[in-house]
Structure 1
């Protein structure tokens, strides 16, 4: 009997998502560091071109040199616009808010993605998945240090960033179902980001030393790896399963926030993170059981 293909895909999707959280957490830490001294176009113009160049280099060295053709130009355009606007919004959110508060809004992505992925992607959102998403929402409430009454401009920017990020991820999964050219999904959003930021760069440019250029290059490398891995994860698992697992990113950011920026979350922050991780584990268990039921071999009569 052959190995269970559905189970292998789930395992791979979980592993890819966990790797994504580590890579993107490192990139976000550099974003917060840059935000203290530079405007968004300065980081994104440099990093966007670097990531696009890395995508071209990876394509040239790969066994299937398909170029950057895409079978879904319309959906790709939506992904590019959402990625550019969302990146700028998240950049400002990191400048205005501590990591814990930014990740409160990032944790809203599973619920928003579930609402959108149903009608757009035709994915069934099972009752167990909704229950797990509600559990994750409870975790979000624990992660909000000041309560909703303290919502300010930074929180509104973060909410806008999450909405745009959700559009980008749903578009990515839509493309991934119809086109297996993963590098195109890395290349075009970052090229669009670089070109858009280049237009604003003359108005905000500040001289950069070698150390800051090195941080920008490091950010681009981490972002390239993270986005490539995320696209692959969204092909292996439904969007409403991948997005709750992305809350593992919060664990990395707690450590980086404490080490790099002296941010020490309270007990409720850790309680909320534990609840969100449990919600993600619940979704994976439900998806695994459903896949096994759907692919169970019926003995021949």
Structure 2
């Protein structure tokens, strides 16, 4: 049963990486012509409508979209708004594959945040892995630290807030099985917040761009729902390293759609970040096995 859940969770994460990379590509495609509030107001409302439709189809007279963790859900919603906004501007300011180096930090940050949020002990190797990940990020700047720009700072803020949102999702998943609620409330919050700024930034959208916005909402809805389900079946520290497959999709989409070819220093940074995240997972699983052996009751 445990192995079946782990396999299902793994497959769901792999599907998620393809969907979310497609959503990121659409974000980068539209980021040059529209402000973040316009894109996320439209897409947020569309995702909310999809969540309501899916809930009506699946539930009948059941719980609906109520949540038993309102405070955690509110914090997750805030972190989601911050994360998607920061990623929007990171994609506007940085090459597609370069943003991934910061996405690749998510497994390391998840390992650290799991301690205070989920009550999981953070071992010394987690700090060593984070240090290695920091070295990987430094590979983005072969000319030195002075090469750091606003895009890099924004991308880092996006990865921190996005990781916290995912860890909180794992926390909520421990207390309720209503996965659609975790899609509905963050996107409702996103639409409401962006709607406040919408009158100041709105520009007419041609039909083709509105179609891209609808496509973005569709893949985002599917991706976020799938991720919430995956996080209910796998621990956050096991889910996030699988998300490194995004780099493959982002390199392909960056080259085919945007004509961006990453330099060797990008590949080096990604390799270090992925290796450090993979080691963190290995160490965490080894620690779990040791704890199980220590608490096992000897057979008489």
TM norm structure 1: 0.88
Gap change, CA 1:145 and 1:46, over 3 Å in 2 = farther
Q: Which residue of 2 aligns with 1:56?
A: 52
Gap change, CA 1:168 and 1:228, over 3 Å in 2 = same
1:242 aligns with 2:239: yes
Match of 2:175 among 169, 178, 181: 178
| Aligned mates of 1:77, 1:55 — CA distance in 2 | 17
- Compare 243-252 and 131-140 and name the one that shifted more: 131-140
Q: Which residue of 2 aligns with 1:216?
A: 213
| SS of alignment partner, residue 263 of structure 1 | coil
1:41 aligns with 2:34: no
Q: Which residue of 2 aligns with 1:199?
A: 196
| SS of alignment partner, residue 258 of structure 1 | helix
TM-superposed CA distance for 1:234, in Å, is 1.7
| SS of alignment partner, residue 62 of structure 1 | helix
Q: Deviations over 1:212-231 (max 9, x none)?
A: 01100000011101111111
TM-superposed CA distance for 1:15, in Å, is 1.9
| SS of alignment partner, residue 215 of structure 1 | helix
Match of 1:76 among 73, 77, 82: 73
2:76/2:186 contact within 8 Å kept = yes
Match of 1:268 among 262, 265, 268: 265
TM-superposed CA distance for 1:278, in Å, is 4.2
- Compare 145-154 and 287-296 and name the one that shifted more: 287-296
Give the alignment's Cα RMSD to 1 decimal.
2.5
In the alignment, structure 2 segments of 5+ residues that lack a partner are: none
2:107/2:277 contact within 8 Å kept = no
Gap change, CA 1:146 and 1:37, over 3 Å in 2 = farther
1:16 aligns with 2:12: yes
Q: Deviations over 1:213-270 (max 9, x none)?
A: 1100000011101111111222222222322322221221111111111110122323
- Compare 123-132 and 164-173 and name the one that shifted more: 123-132
| Aligned mates of 1:244, 1:147 — CA distance in 2 | 28
| Aligned mates of 2:243, 2:142 — CA distance in 1 | 20
| Aligned mates of 1:99, 1:144 — CA distance in 2 | 16
TM norm structure 2: 0.88
Q: Which residue of 1 aligns with 2:89?
A: 92
- Compare 133-142 and 261-270 and name the one that shifted more: 133-142
- Compare 199-208 and 117-126 and name the one that shifted more: 117-126
- Compare 164-173 and 183-192 and name the one that shifted more: 164-173
TM-superposed CA distance for 1:86, in Å, is 1.7
1:118/1:124 contact within 8 Å kept = yes
- Compare 100-109 and 68-77 and name the one that shifted more: 100-109
TM-superposed CA distance for 1:18, in Å, is 1.7
